[in-house]
Amino acid sequence: MGVFYFFLIFLIFLIFLISLISLISPIPSSSRFGNLADIFITKLVS
C-alpha cells in the first residue's frame, strides 16, 4: 500500500515538474514532454 502512495506522489510530482518546465521554457522538446504527459493522463483516466 505504501508503494502505491509513493508512486502516486511521484507521478503527481513528475506531472507538476513537466508542466513547470513547459511554462518556463516553451520549446518543442518541453512541449513534446507535455504531450507525453497528456497522453499518459488520458490513459490513466480511461
Mean pLDDT (the chain) is 76
> Above 60 in pLDDT, residue 30?
no
What is the number of other CB atoms lying within 10 angstroms of the CB of residue 21? 16
Structurally, the chain folds into a number of domains equal to: 1
- Better-predicted residue by pLDDT, 39 or 5: 5
Domain residues for the domain of 24 are 2-45
* Gap between the Cα atoms of 7 and 3, Å rounded: 6
Per-residue pLDDT for 15 more than 60?
yes
pLDDT of residue 6: 92
pLDDT mean over 29-37: 63
Q: Which residue has the cell 513534446?
A: 32
